Structures are given as structure tokens and as C-alpha cells.
Chain A
Amino acid sequence: MKTKKKLKLITLVVNNLCNMNCPHCYLQLDKVSSDWIDDFILNKILMSDFEHLAIVGKEPLVNLDHTKKLISLVKKVKDSGRTTSMITNGKNLSLVNKELLDNLNFIDISFDGGEKTYSKFRRGNFEELKRNIQKIYNSGFKRINALHSIHSENIENIDDMVSILEIIPFQRIMFTPYLVTENFGENKVSKITLKQLFKGLSSSELFMEAKQAIVNIDSYHLEQANMSSKGLVQLAEQFKLKEKLILHDKDLLPFGVIRVTYEGKILSPSQSLNPKRYSKGLDIKNFNNVNEAWEEILRTAKS
């Protein structure tokens, strides 16, 4: 019996504004807009059959107006029986209120550094970030994760990145290697090899000992490294990292992962990493819901 494929995860870009200027940012689009995503697009998403909405950018907490709209969106998703998460740079975590936390399933905070090195890359105030995270955690919201993108400029700082566990016991600290992407900005960092990454991670006792610390590699990393999944697992075994490895070695599209942008473009995971390909995405206005667009992209990918 053939089972109907399920749309699992919609990754949503709700705006094109950010209050930071990170040297590795891939989400650098071709024009600046202060707009929040249109209700027309959000309604199409809400009419879709999916499991989880991950709000991934550009920065959902960029100002009070967008935070209010974020709260409204997250509440609607929860009311319709689905779950949500958001990725934030954490600079405006002070805007997070009880209503948002009551409706949000988890928060991912991008760090890329710890107490000693955070400000070098993100130019944010680490002490303020720390206080705001602790305030949220102490209010009872424990589902907070940390993200580290690893590249040429921070591979030496793994201990510092794991030491953020002193702030709160993050549920996950996820390390992901930086990928070269096609975007409209400038990236002032370089990618490292997967061997360099594994060597750096395995050299850190803190990383090896922290049960929350994991490394996520996906098919796009394997493609850029020209490496097979078997080769990657062997490399992980060599550095005693197999238990830390989360490997998605296939394109994520057939597993029900798709992106919607604030301009209403619907993109495959591969396209979503490359803003210069966003214009080639499908337009949501031509579909009744995201499921239809996902199936169309799947059909096109197969042919």
C-alpha cells in the first residue's frame, strides 16, 4: 500500500530585517525590506497540512512590531494543532513575553562563540544575552537550544562554545559546519574540511563530555566535501564522534522539508541555502496551499 507523503516541516522566513551583521550569514537577500510577511502568505501556510513550523529568519525579534506579529502567528499555529520553533540571534530576547513562550515549542539561539569569543563574530553583548536567556529559563521555559556555525575563524574556539552550558543547561548545542552559499552579501569566513571540523571537535574535552553537544552534517555538506555518507561515518569513527553525529545524508525535500519566504516564494531545502536562487522558487499565489507546491517541486525534481 502506498502511503501519502506528509509535509513535515515548513521553514519560514518572516522578514528581511536583522539587527546583526554576521560574517557567515547565508540569508542575505537582494533587497532590504522592513515588511513583515503578508497575511495572504501566512493564511496559505495555515491552510496547509504540516507538522511543524520553524521560523528561521531573518530575525523574528528584530523589533517590537515584528515580535507582536510573531506572537500572533505562533498562537495561530498552536491553535491549529501544529508546533513552532524559532531561530533568533538573541539580541532582542528581552522582547520575549509569556504569551510567546506559552505558544512556542522551542527556541534556537545562534551563538557561534562563547563568553570569550561571541562578540568577535556577532558584535552582540554577551552579558545581556546571558541575562535574557537566564530570565526566560528561570520563568519555566526550558526548551532552549544553542546553534554554532563552524568556519575558519572559530574552529579553534570549541571549548568556549561549549562553555555556554554555564549560562543554562541548553537542551542541545548543535554544531554545523559553514557552507559556501550563493547570496547577495559578502561572507568573510571560509569553510573548513570535515576532517578539520571533526579534529577540532574531538580535541575539545568539553565537547566530548557534554551530552547535549552534537554535530549535524547533511547531504549539502557531503556534496561540497565530495564525500560519501560511508566515508563520513568512517571519519566520525576515526575521531570517536559517531555518537555525536546526526547525519542527514539525503536531500531533505522528499522527507517533507520546504521553505516559504516573506515574499511568498516556495523553495526546496537546497534552494533555501542559496538566496540567489530564490527568484526561481514557486510562487505561493499559484497554489492553494504549501502541500501542492511541495508536491510540484517533488515532481520536478524527479523528472
Chain B
Amino acid sequence: MAGAIAGTAILDVPVKRNKKDENKEEIEAYNFGSEQSL
């Protein structure tokens, strides 16, 4: 559980995934709302 791993610091770790239509990594769309800047 990321909350236990790092607390809210985890909110600044973007998750990327390979999109099928683009051969490059993009910021994961589900990673909403992270406004906290480290």
C-alpha cells in the first residue's frame, strides 16, 4: 500500500504506461489530482 510505503509523497510518483497507438510512454491517465509538489 503506497500510503504505507511513502505517505502522500507517493502522489508525486507518476505512473506511466505504453499506449497501444503510440510507441512511447505517457503519463498514466488515472493518476488524477496530484497537485502536491515535492
Contact = CB atoms under 8 A, between A and B. Distances in A.
B10 A216 contact: yes
Contacts of B13: 8-9, 248, 252, 255-257
B38 A52 contact: yes
Interface in B1-38: 1-17, 28, 30-34, 36, 38
A5 B9 CA distance: 19
Nearest to A83: B38
Interface in A87-131: 87, 105-106, 108
A51 B38 contact: yes
B1 A178 contact: yes
A145 B15 CA distance: 21
Contact of B33 (A85, A86, A105, A214): A214
B5 A85 contact: no
A8 B3 CA distance: 16
Q: Is the interface of B mostly helix, strand, loop or mixed?
A: mixed
Contacts of A27: 4
Contact of A248 (B9, B31, B33): B31
Given A106-B36, A243-B33, A255-B15, A87 B1 contact: no
Residue of B5, B11, B12, B36 with most chain A CB atoms under a 10 A cut-off: B5
B4 A26 contact: yes
A172 B34 CA distance: 10
A51 B13 CA distance: 11
Contact of B2 (A86, A252, A256): A252
B8 A85 contact: yes
Interface residues of A, number: 50
Nearest to A247: B30
A259 B5 contact: yes
A246 B34 contact: yes
Contacts of A255: 13-16
Given A245-B32, A250-B15, A220 B7 contact: no
Given A174-B3, A250-B17, A52 B9 contact: yes
B7 A85 contact: yes
A177 B1 contact: yes
A195 to B, nearest CB: 17
Nearest to A250: B15
Contacts of B32: 242-246
A246 B32 CA distance: 6
Residue of B2, B4, B10, B36 with most chain A CB atoms under a 10 A cut-off: B4
A272 B16 CA distance: 22
Given A83-B38, A108-B8, A244-B32, 9 more contacts: A8-B12, A9-B13, A11-B9, A52-B12, A54-B7, A85-B7, A176-B3, A216-B3, A255-B14
7 contacts: A9-B10, A56-B6, A174-B7, A179-B4, A246-B33, A257-B13, A273-B1
7 closest Cβ pairs, A-B complex = A176-B3, A108-B7, A54-B9, A247-B30, A218-B2, A87-B7, A54-B6
